[in-house]
Structure 1
């Protein structure tokens, strides 16, 4: 019998990769999307075509802030697995919209758990809750594992903390097969354009080709554990295939700063970055420009950037009210119990992202040259 999976947040980066993964395994996938007037499914379209022509995928409308909507979908579909990926997931936005973030990320999780319980599906439906390394916030130990105390530093982190503990509570109180995946930062060319890694690769690609002048950043010294989203959705699935529900840290166990991410992306474009100044006066200068990586699709004649150009500046607007300085995960439990380990390493991840954004920038140049 074909398994049914319900994915909330299917239109996001993780939703797209998880859809691809589950369809390949023969699942019948139901994806929840909000009814909006703009296209919110471009990531799915990249491999399903403009009309989403795949017999195993059905897109349904729903909203995590509406209890009746959530319960109605679960009652109709009766999924074997629910992957709750839906969230207001931008940390900076959570400071501006804390109530909405709590309603979606915290109470939205409760709505799913309560619906499964009320509908009598506790014995047949397994629930994956997308938790986050932002739970650790002001870290108590390095690296962080499943037993590290939480100290979130944003409304997003606090909302996700409720989501984490209500998932544990329904597991312990009602016997729900409900598990948390505490995923550390995971990126790809499908990452949202306002997240720091994509912001970096988009800006650098455009600067190289003369479409933009400078990348404005906040804390360059923040350190993160970055992996590839495609690897991490496999871990989500593995978590729901276990005999018992539980919580798992999913991470690479390696850490790099935002500064190092910028340097690696620039290097792949043939640009060396030299840092000058301190504090808010710090800036990144193109100290050397050589031939771009042969796989980048960029020829020397396309490069408009010149040696000595300032390509990175600091803007205080991009600092968080409460900074998270360092996050580094310990995935030992996931390795041992799930048999999971990341396949894509840091340099490969950065390479995929910068090359994708160089391709997009190059297409924009062609359109401009054609008068569009």
Structure 2
């Protein structure tokens, strides 16, 4: 039985990855800064909370990281921790940089000291590329970060590359483009859209307020993307990979489909809010995931319309539940 350490197990990707690795027979250990008070709702919804070992670890505290690696003795580490919001990174640039780049460096250095044979996956981001226009970014496209979050993610990817080349360690980054599911918190625009549209369909009378709806992204389905993370660590040689669908669509298209799923016209219920605009927002994001198809044998089967349909279905089901004292697992139909 392999042991996997998931740093940031309480987030969307961490929860889906825990579910996947448990299905593959792994012993799964998940970390949070304070496991005793961490919000474990996502793990509860996927029905995995009682099947994983939870530990407190602060990635920015080197001693905490070293102690955790010595105690857990992992075969694989998945680094999904750190501040995860692009928008929030403008308000908290220092915390963003420290939690992502310093946290990654502490994990790498701890591995180098304790056990260089551990396989390490690092969560990169399409934000690292900045605005590439009509160019579909691949693994050789230069980074041009345009937010504190993107700067931090770029530094973490470069650190991984440095340790891989300098110390012959099995360290890789998955440069993931946007990937969503019904586990996304409401501060993410996709979840905000789905939840607001569902309330409007129920008669709330509110308006969906958005910034620039002309932005375009490559949106995929998160449960498929964690499969790619696992495959990256099963290769003979460590390499970085772009993980994406290869299909780019505008936010306006996303919004229109969400309203159409409720038989509503988005133009009747949406308005622009200038306060939500960002000066350095990326206009368009395109990806070329050819290397992942060829080397990993991985290809996304769900694109943006499928993502919208699944998130709408999940929101309808989950919003109909009475608020329980204890979170119950989601219906089996949503665990895919």
Aligned residue number for residue 28 of structure 1? 27
Q: Does 1:224 align with 2:221?
A: no
Query: For residues 196-246 of structure 1, what are the alpha-carbon distances to aligned partners after superposition, in whole Å with 9 as ceiling and x for unaligned?
Result: 100000000001112351111011011000000000000000000001001
Distance 1:131 1:174 in 2: 20
Contact 2:128 2:153 in 1 (8 A): yes
Number of aligned residues: 323
Q: Does 1:246 align with 2:245?
A: no
Aligned residue number for residue 264 of structure 1? 257
Distance 2:65 2:242 in 1: 27
Aligned residue number for residue 214 of structure 1? 207
Distance 1:110 1:155 in 2: 17
Aligned residue number for residue 180 of structure 2? 187
Aligned residue number for residue 277 of structure 2? 319
Distance 2:37 2:250 in 1: 35
Q: 1:359 to 1:211 in 2, by over 3 A?
A: farther
Contact 2:133 2:285 in 1 (8 A): no
Distance 1:265 1:209 in 2: 14
Contact 1:264 1:347 in 2 (8 A): yes
Aligned residue number for residue 66 of structure 1? 61
Match of 1:338 among 287, 296, 312: 296
Instruction: Please report how far the alpha carbon of residue 315 of structure 1 lies from its aligned counterpart in structure 2 after TM superposition.
Output: 1.0
Alignment of 1:157-172 (within 5 A): 157-172=150-165
Aligned residue number for residue 277 of structure 1? none
Q: Name the stretch that deviates more: 106-115 or 311-320.
A: 311-320
Q: Does 1:148 align with 2:103?
A: no
Aligned residue number for residue 83 of structure 1? 78
What TM-score, normalized by structure 1, do the two folds share?
Answer: 0.84
What TM-score, normalized by structure 2, do the two folds share?
Answer: 0.93
Instruction: Please report how far the alpha carbon of residue 37 of structure 1 lies from its aligned counterpart in structure 2 after TM superposition.
Output: 7.7
Distance 2:138 2:253 in 1: 24
Larger Rg: 1
Instruction: Please report how far the alpha carbon of residue 34 of structure 1 lies from its aligned counterpart in structure 2 after TM superposition.
Output: 2.1
Instruction: Please report how far the alpha carbon of residue 179 of structure 1 lies from its aligned counterpart in structure 2 after TM superposition.
Output: 0.4
Contact 2:121 2:233 in 1 (8 A): yes
Partner SS state of residue 53, structure 2? strand
Aligned residue number for residue 308 of structure 1? none
Partner SS state of residue 32, structure 1? strand
Q: Does 1:202 align with 2:195?
A: yes
Instruction: Please report how far the alpha carbon of residue 272 of structure 1 lies from its aligned counterpart in structure 2 after TM superposition.
Output: 2.3
Query: For residues 66-100 of structure 1, what are the alpha-carbon distances to aligned partners after superposition, in whole Å with 9 as ceiling and x for unaligned?
Result: 11111110111121100000020100100000000
